[in-house]
Chains A and B, each alone.
Chain A
Amino acid sequence: MLTDLYVFGDSALHRMHPGVKILVLISVCTLLFIFEGWTSLGLGAALVALCFALSGVRARHLVAALRPAFWILIAIFLVQVYLTNIHFASFIVARFAVLILAATVVTATTRTSEMVDGILAGLRFAPSWVPKNQIALGVSLCLRFIPLLLSVFNDVRQAQSARGLDRNLTALLVPFVLRTLKSADEVSEAIYARSFD
């Protein structure tokens, strides 16, 4: 599941400074867009495969990382086939898959608190008006609340399913958004209560 973002381990990648991992991730992703082509994509894929091998993360995490994006990738593929050709559509989808897997390597081998430290280190020289702590906390909350939001959505879906409304978008989204906003209120109170400025 995407929700199990971090995978416990003691590999070289787990021990690597989070700032370095984030920097490499950003660089690889950028380079894949600058040097467009199957050769650079192949090199990127090989690098991601090597990192996975070094990290000791199991193959099921690869599959699990791609599964939530599966239908989106299919949709992108179909649109690209319609707009361009099957060759370019395949390339676009393959590049997205490599990007997702590259990000999965980082999240699977980096604790959220380390990620936050890495982001803070990266923002060390940012101007004083940049809310560094808030940005770092925002990222950590995104990662923490993926499973919570999935759980809320499943609760809502089951409740609406019991009423025969599981295919009604309004019946699913309205309570989901309301519950999410209510949770967000309480989360902000809890963060304040725990001495965050």
Chain B
Amino acid sequence: MNIEFADVTVKKGDVTVLRDISIRLSERRIGVIGRNGSGKSTFARLFNGIEVPASGAVLLDGVPERKNLRRHVGFVFQNPDNQIVYPIVEEDLAFGLKNLKLPKAEIEERIGHAMRSLGLDHLRTRLTHQLSGGEKQMIALVGALVMHPRMIVFDEPTTLLDLWNKQKFMETINALPQHVVVVSHDLDLLRGFDRIVHIEAGRIVADGDPAKVLDNYIASSQC
């Protein structure tokens, strides 16, 4: 699959958060970096239509899309507490699927398959607010996976995790068959990716080979 942003500008009130972004992305592992307030989270939110451009268009496989983007692109937020809607894990995982009006048997099958494949079956009947931070983040990921997206966007998914959970979560991300976009300040996590996009002040300032983009980013931060 490929997603293209064509001259996309995003405004919040009078402030232009992203300006004239034009980029086409088809790689399987894409990292997004940038300083706080650079616009990278807004950039990430364009992928599944949470953010709507003030001008320009988002094209999925060459076709302009807006509302249907979320059917193809899942999203995992930084704080899973704000993503989990129901008090019991399996109820929460069924939330998105019920919105798609899928039959109960398919909902059960999708949840069961996703939980088993990530070794989380023991959490199915747990209360969501009693889970650890790492478990919550994994449940947020499963909530996206059960929707069978072609791409999943992660907005700083490891910020609230300890070292052990961070590594486990990134291993899980790396093993996903879907296209993946990860926004992160943790540059080591993005080293093995296929492409890195560097955003500053609402513009793409560097884009391409991870080693080169990351090294330049580190060098610029030391100036």
Contact = CB atoms under 8 A, between A and B. Distances in A.
Is B one of A's binding partners? yes
Interface of A: 3-6, 8, 111-113, 137, 140-141, 143-144, 147-148, 151, 183, 186-187, 189-197
Contacts of B100: 195
A168 to B, nearest CB: 26
B81 A148 contact: yes
B45 interface: yes
B91 interface: yes
B127 A186 contact: no
Using C-beta atoms within 8 Å of the partner chain, give the interface range for chain B.
20 to 34
B127 A112 contact: no
Nearest to A143: B87
Given A111-B87, A148-B81, A151-B129, 10 more contacts: A6-B88, A6-B127, A111-B91, A112-B88, A113-B86, A113-B91, A183-B81, A189-B77, A190-B83, A192-B70
Given A3-B129, A140-B85, A190-B85, A112 B91 contact: yes
9 A-B pairs with least C-beta separation:
A194-B96, A186-B82, A147-B129, A195-B99, A113-B91, A193-B75, A190-B83, A189-B50, A196-B99
A192 B77 CA distance: 12
B94 interface: yes
Given A8-B125, A148-B81, A183-B82, A194 B87 contact: no
A193 B48 contact: yes
A144 B99 CA distance: 18
B71 interface: yes
B50 A192 contact: yes
**A interface secondary structure, majority:** helix
23 contacts: A111-B88, A111-B91, A144-B86, A144-B128, A147-B87, A147-B129, A148-B129, A183-B79, A186-B79, A186-B82, A189-B50, A189-B77, A190-B82, A190-B83, A190-B85, A192-B70, A194-B70, A194-B85, A194-B95, A194-B147, A195-B96, A196-B96, A197-B99
Contact of A144 (B75, B77, B87, B96): B87
A107 B70 CA distance: 33
Contacts of B87: 5-6, 111-112, 143-144, 147
